[in-house]
Each structure stands twice: as C-alpha cells, then as structure tokens.
Amino acid sequence: MKDDYSSQIIFSLAFFILLGVFLGYAVSRWAFSNWFFWLELAGAFIGLTLGVLKFKTRFYEILEAMVVSILPVLAIFFLNDSVSNSSLVSFIAFTTILFLIFVYYLLDVHYKEFSWYKSGKIGFSGLAVLGLLFLIRAGVAIFYTGVLSFVGKSEVFFSGIFAFTSFLVIFNLGNVKK
C-alpha cells in the first residue's frame, strides 16, 4: 500500500478501522456482551468502508491489507492466552492462525497463476483467508459452542454465511475483467 498511497492516508485508514473496532467493543461492553467479536468485526468493516469512501482508495486492496495485519495480532492474542492459561485450545487456535498466515502469503504469491481466476484482481488472498477463517470457525462451532467469541449455536450460521460470502466475492472478482 505504501507505493500507492501516502503514509497519511494509510494511517488515517488504520485509524478509521481501529475506531470502528473500539466502537464495536464499546457497544459490546455496554450491551450484547456475547456479540463482541461480531460487533468489533462490523465496526472494522464500517471503519474500512468509511475510510475507503473518504480517501477514495480501492476497497479490496485495503481489505487485504487489513486481513494481513490482523492475523499476527490474533496469533499473538491466542499465544498469550495459551501460555498464561495453559490452554491447549488457544494454542491450537494460534497454530491455525499461523497456518492461515502461511496460506495468505502462498496465495498472494501465486493467485495470478490460477487459470480459473481470470481477472488477477487484488483481494483474492485476503478474501480466501477470511473465508477459510470463518469456515474453520463454523466447523469448530458445530462441535464446540463454548468458545469465548462464539454466540452459541447460531455461530455456525453466522460464520458459514460470512465464509460463503467471502468465497462468492472471490468468484465474482475472478470473473470480472481487469
């Protein structure tokens, strides 16, 4: 992104996204405490959208940068929890996030070589990793609803819809000409 946008725009976009996350967190602390993950995610996407509209940047490019920057934060969060609470589940989540980081970089290097992704448009790697992350969340929610950020049995549907939407957007991006 630093090649395409000034550092002021990059930091302003990050501020919009972080402000959205913090507002989502504040709403979840005030009401709907079980929904903190989804409210923070909604806040991040609202901040992303407002920032993209304000600074006239490319949505999928900023989304991809957001995904690649959030994954290490999630990994550190889960590693901290696994060490401080001796939690095997958090350690498994940490290794899963590390795997997704690896997948992101692998896809980012090779996505233009995929014959079925004709457009070669940016956003593929971020959307694919988001789709995988939410597909994994949906799979875990089928068998285990006691995860801190899950909203009960409905988590399967929310995560599944989000994963499906991510993959659908990839499909649509792949069929658009550059």
pLDDT of residue 26: 95
Low-confidence stretches of the chain (pLDDT < 70) are 1-2, 145-149, 176-178
What are the residues whose beta carbons fall under 8 Å from the beta carbon of 161, sequence distance 6 or more?
none
Which element (helix H / strand E) includes 41? Answer: helix 36-55
Asked whether residue 36 falls in the same domain as residue 101, the answer is no
Domains identified in the chain, total number: 2
Angle between helix axes 59-84 and 88-110 (nearest 10 degrees) is 150
Asked whether residue 154 falls in the same domain as residue 66, the answer is yes
72 contacts 134 by C-beta, under 8 angstroms? no
Asked whether residue 32 falls in the same domain as residue 49, the answer is yes
pLDDT of residue 153: 77
pTM for the predicted model, two decimal places? 0.87
Asked whether residue 10 falls in the same domain as residue 43, the answer is yes
pLDDT of residue 146: 65
167 contacts 138 by C-beta, under 8 angstroms? no
pLDDT of residue 62: 93
Asked whether residue 53 falls in the same domain as residue 64, the answer is no
pLDDT of residue 148: 59
Residue 173's closest CA among 130, 125, 133? 125
Asked whether residue 65 falls in the same domain as residue 120, the answer is yes
Q: Which domain holds residue 50?
A: 1-57
pLDDT of residue 142: 86
Three-class secondary structure of residue 84 per DSSP: helix
pLDDT of residue 145: 65
pLDDT of residue 116: 77
pLDDT of residue 178: 53
Owner of token pair 């989540």: 93
